[in-house]
Structure 1
Amino acid sequence: MPTITAQGQTFTCELGANLRRVLLQQGVALYNGGAAVINCRSLGTCGTCAVQIDGSVSPLTWKERTRLALPPHQGTGDRRLACQVKVLGDIQVRKLDGFWGQGETVVWCADKPAE
C-alpha cells in the first residue's frame, strides 16, 4: 500500500486511489479559503485542488493538462490536480497559497501542518 505524507500526517491508501478523495478522507485541508466551498468536486475543471507532488502518480490527464495551462495556473508542470491524480507509490504532497493553489508560498507540506 502506498504511503502519502501531507500536512504533517502520514497515511496509506490503496494502489490507484484518487488523491483528492484520500486527502479529504484524512482531514487534510486541500483547499485554500473559499475554494473549500466553491470547487468542481473532482471534475477537473476548476483547478483549486492544485498541489505539488513528489513520488509515483499517474500521468497528466487531458483535463488536467488543459486546466493547468489556463490562468491563474502557469502550465509550468510543477502542479497537479489532486482530483485527477491516482496514487501509484509513496508520495509527498505540498499545498501552495492562492485561491487555486497557484502561489509560491507553501501553506503546508509533507512534514509541516497548516498554520
Structure 2
Amino acid sequence: MPFIRAQGKIIECENGANLRQALLKGGVDVYNGVAKTINCHGLGTCGTCAVQVEGAVSELSWREKTRLSLPPHSLAQNRRLSCQTQVLGDVSVTKFDGFWGQGDRPVWTAESSGQFKD
C-alpha cells in the first residue's frame, strides 16, 4: 500500500486512492483560507486543492489539464489538483500559498507542518 507524506504526516492509502480524499482523511488540509469552505468539493472545477506532488500518480486528466491551464494556474507550475489525482505509489506533497495554491511560497511540505517565514 502506498504512503503519502504531507504536512509532516505519513498516510497509508490504497493503490489508486484519490489524493484529496486520502489527505483529508489523514487530517491534512488541502485548502488555503476561505477555500476551506468555498471549493468544488472534489469536482475538479475550482482549482483550490492544487498541490505539488512527487512520486507515482495518475496522468493528468482532460478536466485537470483544462483547469490547470487557466489563470491563476499554469501548467508550467507542475501542480496537480489533488481531487483529480490517484495515488499509484509513494508520494510527497507540498502545498503553496495563494487562494488556489498557485503561489511560490510553501505553506507546508511533506516534512513540515508549519507555514514558512522569512
- TM-score band, normalised by shorter chain: over 0.9
**Is it true that 1:7 corresponds to 2:7 in the alignment?**
yes
Runs of at least 5 residues in structure 1 that lack an aligned partner in the other structure: none
Question: What's the CA shift string for 1:67-103, capped at 9, x where partnerless?
Answer: 0000000221510000000000000000000000000
1:95-110 superposed matches below 5 A: 95-110=95-110
1:20-31 superposed matches below 5 A: 20-31=20-31
How far residue 24 of structure 1 moved from its aligned partner, in angstroms, is 0.5
Task: Give me the identity figure in percent.
Answer: 59
1:22 counterpart letter in structure 2: A
- Give the TM-score, by structure 2 length: 0.95
2:108 counterpart letter in structure 1: W
Question: What's the CA shift string for 1:34-62, capped at 9, x where partnerless?
Answer: 00000001110000000000000000000
- Give the TM-score, by structure 1 length: 0.97
Partner residue in 1 for 2:88: 88
* Equivalent pair of 2:18/2:82 in contact (CA under 8 Å): yes
Runs of at least 5 residues in structure 2 that lack an aligned partner in the other structure: none
1:3-82 superposed matches below 5 A: 3-76=3-76, 78-82=78-82
SS of structure 2 residue aligned to 1:112: coil
Q: After TM superposition, which residue ranges in structure 1, 4 or more long, deviate above 6 angstroms?
A: none
**Number of aligned pairs?**
115
